[in-house]
Amino acid sequence: MQRRTMLLMLICLAAPFAVRAADAPSFTLPELATGRMLSLESFRGQVVYVDFWASWCGPCRKSLPLYEEMRQQLEAKAFTIVAINLDEKRADAEQFLARHPVGYTVLLDPAGESAAAWQIKAMPSSFLLDTESRIVRSWAGFTTDHLEEIRNEILALVD
C-alpha cells in the first residue's frame, strides 16, 4: 500500500512539470521573393521548421544550404521550411541568397519584431512546429550534428 501511495504522489508531483508543446508566437511578414504577406497561420496543417538567420551570421552560411538539401530530400512530406531573415537591408539577404540559393520560403523582418516575440538569443535559432503551430523543439546556434536530430524530429512528426 505504501509503495502505491508513493507512486501516486510521485506522479502527481511530476504532472506540473510534464513537457507540453507551446504555441508559437504569431507573425505576418513579407516574403522576399514576392513581397506578399505571409503569416504563421498560412502554414497550419504542415510540420514547419522556422529558422531565424542573417547574412552576417557565420553558421548561417553552413545551415541554409544544408537545410535546402534536407528540404529536397523530404519534399514528398507535409513539411516546409520558413526562414526569417533579420538583416536590416533587403539587399544583404538577396546577396547572401544569390550565393546560397534555397527553394523554401524566406520572409523579411528587418525590424526584428518576430525575433523579439520568439525570444531569439543566438544566431541562427530554429524551431520545429507541429501541424497545429506548436513548438515541439528548438535549437540555438547551429552545428552539422543538429541535422540528423532535426531530420529525425521532422520524420517523427510527419510519419
Cα distances (angstroms) measured from residue 87 to each of 17, 75, 150: 37, 28, 25
Record the pTM: 0.85
CA R_g for the chain: 18
Asked if the model's pLDDT at residue 109 lies above 80, the reply is yes
d(CA 110, CA 2): 60
Q: How confident is the model at residue 21 (pLDDT cuts 50, 70, 90)?
A: low
Q: Identify the CATH assignment for 44-158 out of 3.40.50.720, 1.20.140.10, 3.40.50.11610, 3.40.30.10.
A: 3.40.30.10
* pLDDT tens-digit series, residues 60-101: 999 999 999 999 999 888 899 999 999 999 999 999 999 999
Cell numbers 498560412 correspond to what residue? 42
d(CA 95, CA 87): 11
Cell of 40: 504563421
- The residue ranges of every structural domain in the chain are 44-158
pLDDT of 2 reads 44
User: 4-8, 42-46, 110-114, 152-156: which range is least confident on average?
Assistant: 4-8
For the stretch 148-152, contacts whose Cβ atoms lie closer than 8 Å and that sit 24 or more positions apart, written own/partner, are 150/49, 150/70, 150/126, 151/70, 151/74
Q: How confident is the model at residue 5 (pLDDT cuts 50, 70, 90)?
A: very low
